[in-house]
Structure 1
Amino acid sequence: MYAITEPDPIAQDQIAALPLDAVRYLAEVFALLETAPWAGKPSNPAKPEGNLRIMPFGTGGLVTYLVLEQQREVYIVRVQWLSIA
């Protein structure tokens, strides 16, 4: 099991600004990251073993996170949400 550490301050602001339905989807991603953080795609396809990963969520979200394998931790770097009006 991996621990999700306190997110980056910018990611904290991004999470706080999410609409309620997006927060539900994000909670599902966090639950997955606790057990399978390597399930996300590498942020750089040229480095498939890289520890900076991305994972989509909901209908317009993307989480960028860092897997700290030795510490068994996940550090949330950014949370983006595209609102389609």
Structure 2
Amino acid sequence: MRSIANEIQLGAALRERREHAGLTQGRLAGRAGVSRAFIIDLERGRRPRAELGRVLAVMRALDAAITLVDVEHRDTEDVLNELLGEL
């Protein structure tokens, strides 16, 4: 499972999944009911405000899903101690 924190990472993950499935952008767009231009922009991280329903349609067309996970919050001191401890 991959952790995705921004639209660039989401786009890269979707592109990787599409390519692994052997789908063209046009074919994926047809399956998801969106335009090829939307897929291109989504894969490039150029749709930071994309409608969630359209993004989910693309994900369903790729047999993918979203899993919410807790993010570990660390303060600067913890990060520095971890880095310095590894030296």
Give your verdict on TM over 0.5: no
Higher Cα Rg, which structure? 2
TM-score using structure 2 length: 0.29
Greater RCO between the two (CA within 8 Å, min separation 6)?
1
TM-score using structure 1 length: 0.29
Q: Which structure's residues are more often strand, by fraction?
A: 1
